Amino acid sequence: MRTDRDPSAASTRPGGVLYVVATPIGNAGDISARALQTLREVDGVLAEDTRHSRRLLAVHGIATRLSPLHDHNERRVATQVLRRLEKGEHLALICDAGTPSISDPGLHLVRRVHQAGGRVRAVPGPCALVCALSVSGLPTDRFVFEGFLPARRAARRRRLASLRSETRTLLFYEAPHRIEGTLEDLRDLFGGDRSAVLAKELTKVHETVQSASLEELRDWLRMRSEHVRGEFVILVAGAAEESASSAADDARTLLVELLQELPVSRAVEIAGRVTRCERNLLYRLALEISGKGSKEGAGL
């Protein structure tokens, strides 16, 4: 790869560079000039689905060799990639859409390269969660991304229960065949009047960004269930600060009673089932109440 045109690649350290390259999430025009230059000049491209990525490269007249890197082979391929980087090859990592390693393959590889002392460079661009957040109208100064929720309902509800008092804007990805069930769980655990946004087909012709309460969004989606295709981004307004504070106060009151009869771990377990507060919060409160918090903190 000709590195003289890319300042980020200039270095006296030996070995190649792994470029993490973002690609369009829908609109083919959203790929950057730097991403195209990188894909054109690297020695190889690691792609989640080579058939899909081959079409993208062909549109831009790029003939760089593609190799598969996906969830099922990433750990094995990572070792081969390290060898190639050690030989001085420059490689690009892409996924089917958006930014690699964000709920897509790539995290293990990037971690391995760092552990080996290699170089990883970002070629930024589209990312569905950032795109959805920017047009949602929900607070953007503090947010938390939870990725895909568990597929099984019981596990999904437990995860959501732990987030009920979260005051930051919440973002989730969800598959079309689970979207209705997830909205129902969100309504049940967060309350039907909590503000939320559903986003799908972002940057495409039929882009949809629907803002309403969780109750209204569930009803809106039911009327369109036969047209539900493609992955969703769900955005949910954080809990009101006073609501989170009230939940913590209730948990503290319960823990005071439980800790008179039970050890910390058991008291936290029961309080979690009753209050649905996050376990870390309950554990911290329990240590404070039992007088162990300051002792453990002093040893950190």
Q: Does residue 16 sit in the same domain as residue 116?
A: yes
Least confident of 1-15, 65-79, 127-141, 198-212: 1-15
Domain that holds residue 179: 129-239
Q: Does residue 232 sit in the same domain as residue 249?
A: no
- Per-residue pLDDT at 256: 86
Least confident of 66-80, 202-216, 226-240: 226-240
- Per-residue pLDDT at 291: 76
Nearest to 121 by CA among 178, 42, 220, 226: 42
Q: Which residue, of 87, 108, 126, is where some domain finishes?
A: 126
Q: Does residue 117 sit in the same domain as residue 134?
A: no
pLDDT by residue (tens digit) across 230-253?
899 999 999 987 666 777 778 888
Asked if 36 and 62 count as a contact pair (C-beta separation under 8 A), the reply is yes
- Per-residue pLDDT at 4: 44
Q: Does residue 253 sit in the same domain as residue 235?
A: no
Asked if 254 and 275 count as a contact pair (C-beta separation under 8 A), the reply is yes
Reduced to 3 states (helix: H, G, I; strand: E, B; else coil), residue 146 is strand
At 221, which CATH number?
Answer: 3.30.950.10
Q: Does residue 136 sit in the same domain as residue 231?
A: yes
Q: Does residue 104 sit in the same domain as residue 205?
A: no
Number of CB atoms found within 10 A of residue 122's CB: 12
Asked whether the predicted pLDDT for residue 185 surpasses 90, the reply is yes
Q: Does residue 122 sit in the same domain as residue 12?
A: yes
Strand 195-200 with 232-236, pairing: antiparallel
Q: Does residue 169 sit in the same domain as residue 264?
A: no
Domains contained in the chain, number: 3
Rounded to whole angstroms, how far apart are CA atoms 64 and 77? 18
Q: Does residue 208 sit in the same domain as residue 99?
A: no
Q: Which residue, of 84, 110, 126, is where some domain finishes?
A: 126
Q: Does residue 7 sit in the same domain as residue 120?
A: yes
- Average pLDDT, whole number, for the chain? 89
Percent of the chain past pLDDT 90, that is, above it, reads 68
Rounded to whole angstroms, how far apart are CA atoms 129 and 233? 7
- Which pLDDT band, with edges at 50, 70 and 90, does 275 fall under? confident
- Per-residue pLDDT at 62: 97
Residue 209 bridge partners (DSSP): 199
Q: Does residue 81 sit in the same domain as residue 159?
A: no
- Which pLDDT band, with edges at 50, 70 and 90, does 3 fall under? very low
Q: Which residue, of 100, 126, 152, is where some domain finishes?
A: 126
At 101, which CATH number?
Answer: 3.40.1010.10
Least confident of 3-12, 13-22, 160-169, 218-227: 3-12
- Per-residue pLDDT at 54: 96
Gyration radius of the chain's alpha carbons: 23
- Per-residue pLDDT at 226: 62
Alpha carbon distances (Å) from 97 to 51, 73, 94, 110, 127: 13, 19, 8, 18, 8
Residue whose pair of structure tokens reads 């992955």 in the numeric block: 231
Asked whether the predicted pLDDT for residue 298 surpasses 70, the reply is no
Asked whether the predicted pLDDT for residue 8 surpasses 60, the reply is no
Q: Which tops the pLDDT comparison, 190 or 293?
A: 190
Listed in sequence order, the residues at least 6 apart from 74 whose beta carbon sits closer than 8 Å to its beta carbon are 105, 106, 108, 109
Q: Does residue 266 sit in the same domain as residue 235?
A: no
